[in-house]
Each structure stands twice: as structure tokens, then as C-alpha cells.
Chain A
Amino acid sequence: MAKSKVVSPSEAAKLLRDGMTVMMGGFTNVGSANKFVLEMVKSGLKDITLISNDAGNDKFDGIGTLICQKRVKKLIASHAGLNPQVAVQMNAGELEVELVPQGTLAERIRCGGTGLGGVLTPTGIGTVVAEGKQIINVNGKDYLLETPLRADVAVIKAWKADEFGNLVYRRAARNFNPMMAMAADIVIAEVEEVVPVGEIDPDMVMTPGVCVDYVVKM
């Protein structure tokens, strides 16, 4: 039987180092590791590049805490309007922000985790998003070449895991998590429930345990 991947939150937090690129799943904190993020903050982690759909909020109840505590030097996201701290730090020159269309962000992460050199998308053609990017015409239609994104660590959130790290997500909390689980060197999953290996029907597994390195129940 495979060894259990369940570790304590503080053990998992030690895997993160200053200056790392970190992916975090979620959409407005739904499907984000909102508890583990506090361990990340507590560990003193700083100067990270954060790749996430959005920047959470400024209520200190989720991933936005990393921004509010000034632990992020660069944010790659599709939306940051719900966390006013982003604009404040951006205008003060403390935070670099790269905005990526949401569907493109998902595909760039998928490319990073699935061995693809990029994706061709019509999204962003004729807008500032296209600036500096290669346009490729396929069968008469223009597409932007969008390149892969990878991270040192992905911190994802699932509903349920078995001890091997097979994951099940719930409802709208799936979002970016399955792609991020494949696109980082180290994958940490915050989960609500851990069950013994064999309890999750293989057909119900949404992220295979081989992609997950550590499971933290919080």
C-alpha cells in the first residue's frame, strides 16, 4: 500500500520558500486553500509570484491575505477588483500585476502541466492582451499564441482526498485546481476530509493522486 501523503499544515508550509512562484486555485475564495494560506503567512513567506484567478479580498479570510500582508511581488490573475489592496500596491510600485483573460489563464496552466508548448486562442485579438504576442493564422482565422505557465508549488483545495491524494472537488470549487495540480513541481492539497485508500470510487476521482505530493486536512 502506498505511503500516506497526509502531513501537518506546518510541515507543508516549510516546503514554500521566499521568491517562489506559487499557484493557488479558487475563484473569489471558493476553491481556495483559505486555511492553509494562513500557515503560509505565519511562516513568514515573502516575495512570491502568485498565479491565481483573482486576488481574493481584503477581509483577511482567504488568499487575499497574502496581498494584504505584502508577501506578493508579482500577481498573475484575471481579475483583482475585489481586493482594493492590489490597486493600492500596484500604484505604489510595490506589486507587479499581469492580467490574463480567465480562459487563457486556465489554458496556459493546462499547457504547463500537460507538456504543451502553448495554446492558440482567439481571446484577446485586437486588444492590449495581444501586444508583443505572436499571431498565428490557422485556416483563415487569427489566434494568439499563449505560452505555458508553471510554478514551484501549487497550493490547491479539494473537498475530499484519500491518503494517496486522489481528489474530489465540489460544485464551483473545482475551477483552476485540477489544472494547477499538474503544473507545479510540488503540489499541496488542502482538503476537508481524508478517507482511506480505496474509499473513493476510481470513476469519481477528479485529480489522480499521482499528481498530489502532500495532503493537509484543515
Chain B
Amino acid sequence: MELKGRDLIAYRAARFLKDGDMVNLGIGMPTKVADFLPEGVEIFLQSENGFIGIGPTPSPEEWDKDVVNAGGQPSSILPGGACFDSCMSFGLIRGGHVDATILGALEVDQEGNLANWIIPGKMVPGMGGGMDLVAGANTVIVMTDHCTKKGEPKILKKCTLPLTAAHEVDYIVTELCVLHYNGEGLVLTELAPGVTVDEVIARTEAKLIIPETIGCMI
């Protein structure tokens, strides 16, 4: 199977996860990560509306009206799952019990800042649990197309949109590369097959730190 585009992003993001991790996947593209887990890695998915153990999407006949995921869509709870209230749920998130959160971005920058909850004047959905997740999860992994649909950079020197959290991003995974925020800047740690350093630099507004050796995403 040739991995590219969002499949490649999901494949690589899944490789950050370790067996036994509790993980929170954001709405949309991040849910694909569950399809690309390495052999032998079992993770526990948290749904911040109140349970651990997200199972497969049920058929309409099997759906339990009291079980939805954090996107409000019908979901199921695996054997061994646990239900709780919102204080417990976000206590787990802020308290260091969620090993990783994987979520999308509108913008991300070289200071580890993430903006993904509002476009003033256009979109007012609210931050939901996003701010708590990015501030609280042990590892914050952003998965995003490298540029916007118009080809404009999403990985910037400085976010222009209101932030979700400041300096909290650990990794950015795109179809071109993996970037690691090391507390000082963004390090280009891996490239997608066939992609060059120059190509990444050309499509990134942020200043990148280029180490001597760069790995491959696959």
C-alpha cells in the first residue's frame, strides 16, 4: 500500500502512540488515526463528554441514545469502558492521565502555539474541550494538511487567529514532514518519501531548525 496525503499523516501520527496509552482524538481527520495503529498497540480512546473506551460507530438499530462521541455522533462503548461526569473527564485531561491528544489546526506556529477554535466574524463554534486538551494532555500532536486548500502556509511564524493554547504543541504531522517543537523552535525531524528539505521550507512560513540527520516518515 502506498501511503500518501491524509493516510500518511494518520499513519505517522499513530506511530507516536504506545501500547496502553489513553488518547483523545479530535473531530474529523484525527479519528483516522485509529485505523492506522501499529500491530500490538492497543490504546484507550477517551471521549471528553464522559467515557473511556470509544467503540465502533453503531448501526442505527444498535445505537444507544445515551452514547455519543465528543462530536455528538452515535458511538459505542467497548467492554471494559468507563463512564463519568465532566469534572472527572477534564480532571483526567488536565491531570496528566491523557497520554496524547491528536487534533487538527487552522494555524500553528514556530512558538508551539495552536489556533483551531475560531475565525472571528466567520465561525463561532466555541472551544469546547479543545483548550483543556491542548493545555492538559501530556503530548499534543497536531495533524494537518501542510498548506491551506489555496496553497497558503498553515505553519506560521506567528498565529494570526485567536489561540487555543500557547506553547503547548509537541509535534506537527503533515503530508510532507514531521516537525517537533522543542521549546525553542520547530525542528524538521522527518520527511515524507520523495520530499526534500527545500520543498518543506518553500511551503512553510515558520523558520525551521534543520538538523544534520532527518528521518523518514515511513
Contacts and interface: CB of A to CB of B under 8 A. Distances in A.
Contacts of A122: 94, 135-136
A24 B85 CA distance: 14
B66 to A, nearest CB: 4
Interface string A156-191: 000100000000011111111111000000000000
Contact of B68 (A81, A105, A170, A172): A172
B77 A79 contact: no
A103 interface: yes
Contacts of A171: 50-51, 64, 66-67, 77, 83
Contacts of B50: 27, 171-172, 174-175
Nearest to B92: A103
Given A129-B131, A172-B47, A172-B67, A106 B126 contact: no
A106 B85 CA distance: 9
Contacts, number: 147
Given A102-B90, A103-B90, A179-B85, A30 B65 contact: yes
A139 interface: no
Contacts of B43: none
Nearest to B167: A126
B79 interface: no
A31 interface: yes
B49 interface: yes
Contact of B124 (A81, A104, A106, A178): A81
Contacts of A123: 94, 131-132, 135-136, 165
A101 B47 contact: no
Contacts of B166: 125-127
A80 interface: yes
A29 B90 CA distance: 19
Contacts of A44: none
A81 B117 CA distance: 10
A121 interface: yes
A54 to B, nearest CB: 8
B35 to A, nearest CB: 23
Interface string A11-37: 000000000000000011111000000
29 contacts: A28-B68, A30-B49, A30-B66, A30-B72, A31-B66, A79-B128, A80-B125, A80-B126, A86-B124, A101-B129, A102-B132, A103-B94, A105-B86, A106-B85, A121-B132, A122-B135, A124-B131, A126-B165, A126-B166, A126-B167, A127-B162, A127-B164, A128-B163, A169-B85, A171-B67, A172-B66, A172-B68, A176-B85, A177-B85
Interface of B: 47-51, 64-68, 72, 75, 77, 83-87, 89-91, 93-94, 113, 123-132, 135-136, 162-167
Given A103-B91, A174-B84, 14 more contacts: A54-B126, A99-B126, A101-B128, A101-B129, A102-B129, A103-B129, A104-B131, A106-B90, A127-B164, A170-B83, A172-B50, A172-B51, A175-B86, A179-B87
